Amino acid sequence: MKKIKFAKIKIGKIDWKNFFSYIFLVLLSSLILASILIALPLTERISTQTTYDLNSKSNLYWAKEYTLELETSDDKDIDGIKSVLFNRLNKLGVEKVNMYSYTEDENTYLQVQIQSSLRQEYVQELVQNPFDVRVSIRNNEVDFEDEENPYAIYLAENYIETEFSRSDFRNIYITQLKNSANEYSYFALFKTWPWDSKWNNFLKDNMGMEIGVAIDDFVTPVQIPSVEPLVFAVPISSAEKEEANLVSIMYNSGVMPAGYTLSDIQDIEVESLEVDYIKLIEGLIIAIVVIYAYLLLIDRTPKRLLVISGLATVIAISLWIAYLKITSTPVDIFLLAIEALTMVAILRITTENRESRIIVNVLLALIASLVAILGSGFAKIFASDLFILLILGVISQEVAQIYTDKVRKMLKI
């Protein structure tokens, strides 16, 4: 019987470096393509299980006019009230605020017009409460143990005011501490200036005693520790983080120079800033194509830099819109258009001037940070988004450069 001879197949040495480079390019191309498809309009209809629709703020906006009856007619006090209210609403992130005062029947009123996409009850909480904070001690003539009057412990009229108010404290810090039930809940820690000894002496004189913190005539009882360290922690009724943040805003946005009451609330017309998302993307695509076609025609920039700049722009904008879609983050479409056009300009400049890229990005990041901290309304939102977009832009430039270099090397062009 003859033996069957099999042909020997020689397998050459595999170039693992090129193999992994190829796999890397395939994965990177898939990621870029996926982000582009998610960012494009109407692509949310591709899958019936997962939606990638852009969550526009246009349907979330509401507008109201709050009328406050002031207990003062002094212009300085009125300006102070406006300042505190503006600080509160700005910290919460309210998009648009208008305020003006007037006098009618010898009474002074302040109208606060608000347009926002935030929860109405949170905004109203910041507007309607003067949040006058005062430390009080119990009135010995009042029977706080009277079972027929269980609310006596919560009424400011049953306490005697001390010399301490919100203006005597450097900061009110909201944090979670263990309560009497050994569970975590939110507390407000009153912090004084390091050189102020009056408050420490007051706490020492009342060690082990129960006093009260009056906020707009409602008192929260507080037990002063009987041993040191003497930490003054005022319990907060809410266990929700958002509501605790609301209390922190009211504590730390300034002191109202005078009191007021909410006399009226009216619905007003919402000023629509709606932009068609499909037309926006079409406009962006046309703008990018026209810009880079013009730059290619005038032939003043190396083609390699144009390819890197254009690819980085597409990656950065696609990743940003894809992120907004996947996380269902509410967004102002008109603001998104401004952000996209800003990134087109920034990436175009920083790609061509590589030596100044770090300086330009750092300066823009500093400006964005300052506006995000000190600005208000849409300017604050734009600055916060721009800071993230700058980071995305730097990453996109590096990815675009690596991608184009590997493609050129593999295709030998």
- 5 within a domain of the structure (yes/no): no
Using 50, 70 and 90 to split pLDDT, how confident is the model at 150?
A: confident
- For residue range 364-384, list pLDDT tens digits in order: 999 999 998 888 888 999 999
| Mean pLDDT taken over the chain | 85
- 3 within a domain of the structure (yes/no): no
- 9 within a domain of the structure (yes/no): no
Decide the pairing of beta strands 210-215 and 96-104: unpaired
Using 50, 70 and 90 to split pLDDT, how confident is the model at 7?
A: low
Task: State the average pLDDT over residues 131-156.
Answer: 86
Question: How far apart (Å, rounded) are the C-alpha atoms in residues 211 and 137?
Answer: 5
Task: State the average pLDDT over residues 149-153.
Answer: 85
Give me the residues paired with residue 234 across strands: 188
313-340: buried (b, 16+ CB within 10 Å) or exposed (e) per residue?
bbbbbbbbbbebbeeeebbbbebbbebb
CB 317 within 8 A of CB 310: no
Matching residue, tokens 């922190």: 248
Q: What is the pLDDT of residue 27?
A: 87
- 6 within a domain of the structure (yes/no): no
| Whether 245 and 339 share a structural domain | no
Q: What is the pLDDT of residue 385?
A: 92
Task: State the average pLDDT over residues 316-324.
Answer: 91
| Whether 353 and 403 share a structural domain | yes
Task: State the average pLDDT over residues 28-49.
Answer: 75
Q: What is the pLDDT of residue 257?
A: 92
| Whether 138 and 251 share a structural domain | yes
CB 34 within 8 A of CB 89: no
Residue 290 has pLDDT above 80, yes or no: yes
Q: What is the pLDDT of residue 52?
A: 65
As a dihedral over the C-alpha atoms of residue 331, residue 333, residue 334, residue 339, rounded to 10 degrees, the angle is 70
Kindly report the backbone phi and psi dihedral angles of residue 87, in degrees, each rounded to the nearest multiple of 5, phi listed first.
-60, -40
| Whether 310 and 378 share a structural domain | yes
Task: State the average pLDDT over residues 66-74.
Answer: 93
Largest CA-CA distance found in the chain, in angstroms, rounded: 124
Q: What percentage of the chain has pLDDT greater than the value 90?
A: 34
Q: What is the pLDDT of residue 3?
A: 56
Question: How far apart (Å, rounded) are the C-alpha atoms in residues 308 and 352?
Answer: 9
Task: State the average pLDDT over residues 91-102.
Answer: 93
Q: Which two tokens stand for residue 243?
A: 């509501």
Residue 20 has pLDDT above 60, yes or no: yes
Residue 292 has pLDDT above 60, yes or no: yes
Residue 310 has pLDDT above 60, yes or no: yes
Three-class SS of the chain: CCCCCCCCCCCCCCCHHHHHHHHHHHHHHHHHHHHHHHHCCCHHHCCCCCCCCCCEHHHCCEEEEEEEEECCCCHHHHHHHHHHHHHHHHHHCCCEEEEEEEEECCEEEEEEEEEECCCHHHHHHHHHCCCCEEEEEECCCCCCCCCCCCCHHHEHHHEEEEEEEHHHCCEEEEEEEECCCCCEEEEEEEECCCCCCHHHHHHHHCCCCEEEEEECCEEEEEECCCCCCCCCEEECCCCCHHHHHHHHHHHCCCCCCCCEEEEEEEECCCCCCCCCHHHHHHHHHHHHHHHHHHHHHHCCCCHHHHHHHHHHHHHHHHHHHHHHHHCCCCECHHHHHHHHHHHHHHHHHHHHCHHHHHHHHHHHHHHHHHHHHHCCHHHHHHHHHHHHHHHHHHHHHHHHHHHHHHHHHHHCC
| Whether 173 and 303 share a structural domain | no
Question: How far apart (Å, rounded) are the C-alpha atoms in residues 70 and 68?
Answer: 6
Using 50, 70 and 90 to split pLDDT, how confident is the model at 13?
A: low
Q: What is the pLDDT of residue 15?
A: 63
| Whether 201 and 309 share a structural domain | no
| Whether 199 and 141 share a structural domain | yes
Chosen domain end from 255, 290, 324? 255
- For residue range 195-235, list pLDDT tens digits in order: 778 888 888 888 888 888 999 888 998 888 887 777 888 88
Chosen domain end from 194, 221, 255? 255
What lies within 8 Å, CB to CB, of 218 at 6+ separation is 154, 155, 156
Task: State the average pLDDT over residues 130-134.
Answer: 92
Q: What is the pLDDT of residue 9?
A: 52
Chosen domain end from 238, 271, 304? 271
Q: What is the pLDDT of residue 267?
A: 92
Task: State the average pLDDT over residues 310-336.
Answer: 89
Matching residue, tokens 């906020």: 215
Domain that holds residue 90: 62-128+260-271
Q: What is the pLDDT of residue 115?
A: 93
| Whether 349 and 309 share a structural domain | yes
Question: How far apart (Å, rounded) are the C-alpha atoms in residues 93 and 381?
Answer: 8
- 28 within a domain of the structure (yes/no): yes
| Whether 174 and 239 share a structural domain | yes
CATH of the domain at 82: 3.30.70.120
Q: What is the pLDDT of residue 223?
A: 87
Q: What is the pLDDT of residue 183?
A: 79
| Whether 236 and 266 share a structural domain | no
CATH of the domain at 180: 3.30.1360.200
Residue 50 has pLDDT above 70, yes or no: no
- 69 within a domain of the structure (yes/no): yes
| Whether 144 and 234 share a structural domain | yes
Using 50, 70 and 90 to split pLDDT, how confident is the model at 53?
A: confident
Query: Domain total for the chain?
Result: 3
Residue 390 has pLDDT above 60, yes or no: yes
| Whether 316 and 407 share a structural domain | yes
Residue 263 has pLDDT above 90, yes or no: yes
What lies within 8 Å, CB to CB, of 323 at 6+ separation is 329
- 52 within a domain of the structure (yes/no): yes
> Which of these, 268, 222, 296, 234, lies nearest to 111 by C-alpha position?
268
What lies within 8 Å, CB to CB, of 19 at 6+ separation is none
What lies within 8 Å, CB to CB, of 205 at 6+ separation is none
- Least confident range from 9-23, 28-42, 96-110: namely 9-23
